[in-house]
Amino acid sequence: MKGILVVGASRGVGFELVKNLLKSGEKVVALSRNMQSLNKLREKYPDRLYNISFDLSEFEKFELVLSELDRIDFIPSTVYYNAAYLKNKNFLEQDKEDVYHTFRINYFSYFFLTQFLLKKYTNPIHFVAISSMGGVQGSMKFGGLSAYSASKAALNNMIESLAAEFSSTKYRFNALALGAVNTEMLQEAFPNYKAPIDALGIADFIAWFGLNGHRYFNGKILPVSSSTP
């Protein structure tokens, strides 16, 4: 059966996205480390929501995830790369692990997951990276976010590169570069800042884009922001 894969789905934007897709009648596979909120949601949608507990940093185990998708006979038509790691830390205080972990989650995991998915599935897939305005060249930058913003810039570049390399296929690759959205991650990045939009509000657009955007865009990094940050 065809459906949507949401990577990073237990809270914030990802959780609201899963709820939105389920309300629209989609089948969803949700991948995250914490299962509490997702398991509760599954009680409401036992036939259309499948939860997989997985830590994205363990990319050598992606095959396990894919075998789980086989087990439930699931073929992704849209894949959202939503999970991300952000540590707000001054440049000079960051140690190797801070930087490595940021890139491990925000870039390398998606690099290798995409390889796995492209080798396995030949059906059309719309890959949607949930990126950040911080990763857009020329956008305003902020102290403490150098590793995070650079990792999102790398992710954006990967999306553009994949769209070029697979332009003759039915795969489509786009990124939504979000501005501030009220979530736990925003509080880490900008403590006490209140954004003009919350996860519920933006999920609507992200859901629509994942299901329809491939008809209009490929290889695009689209700013989705009405504020700075």
Ligand X SMILES: NC(=O)c1ccc[n+]([C@@H]2O[C@H](COP(=O)([O-])OP(=O)(O)OC[C@H]3O[C@@H](n4cnc5c(N)ncnc54)[C@H](OP(=O)(O)O)[C@@H]3O)[C@@H](O)[C@H]2O)c1
Task: State the nearest-atom distance from the C-beta of 154 to ligand X, in Å.
Answer: 13
Q: Is 13 in the site for ligand X (CB under 6 A)?
A: yes
Residue from 6, 22, 79, 105 in contact with ligand X (CB under 6 A): 105
- How far, in Å, CA of 107 to CA of 86, rounded? 12
Q: Is 183 in the site for ligand X (CB under 6 A)?
A: yes
- How far, in Å, CA of 133 to CA of 191, rounded? 18
Q: Is 30 in the site for ligand X (CB under 6 A)?
A: no
Q: Work out whether strand 28-32 and strand 49-53 pair parallel, antiparallel, or are unpaired.
A: parallel
Q: Is 185 in the site for ligand X (CB under 6 A)?
A: yes
Residue from 4, 5, 6, 9 in contact with ligand X (CB under 6 A): 9
Task: State the nearest-atom distance from the C-beta of 82 to ligand X, in Å.
Answer: 5
State both tokens at 198: 């919350």
Is 32 in a helix, a strand, or coil?
Answer: strand
Interface positions, 115-134, toward ligand X (CB under 6 A): 130, 132
Contact 7, 82 (CB under 8 A): yes
Q: Is 33 in the site for ligand X (CB under 6 A)?
A: yes
Q: Shortest CA distance to 152 belongs to which of 174, 130, 173? A: 130
Residue from 3, 5, 8, 78 in contact with ligand X (CB under 6 A): 8
Range list of β-strands (E), the chain: 2-7, 28-32, 49-53, 75-81, 126-132, 172-178, 220-224
- How far, in Å, CA of 210 to CA of 20, rounded? 12
- Given the complex with ligand X, which of 33 and 170 has the nearer CB atom? 33
Q: Is 56 in the site for ligand X (CB under 6 A)?
A: yes
Span interacting with ligand X, options 66-74, 112-120, 160-168, 181-189, rule CB under 6 A: 181-189
Span interacting with ligand X, options 21-29, 79-87, 110-118, 161-169, rule CB under 6 A: 79-87
- How far, in Å, CA of 109 to CA of 59, rounded? 6
The residue ranges that bind ligand X (CB under 6 A) are 8-14, 32-34, 55-57, 82-85, 105, 130, 132, 178, 180-181, 183-186, 199
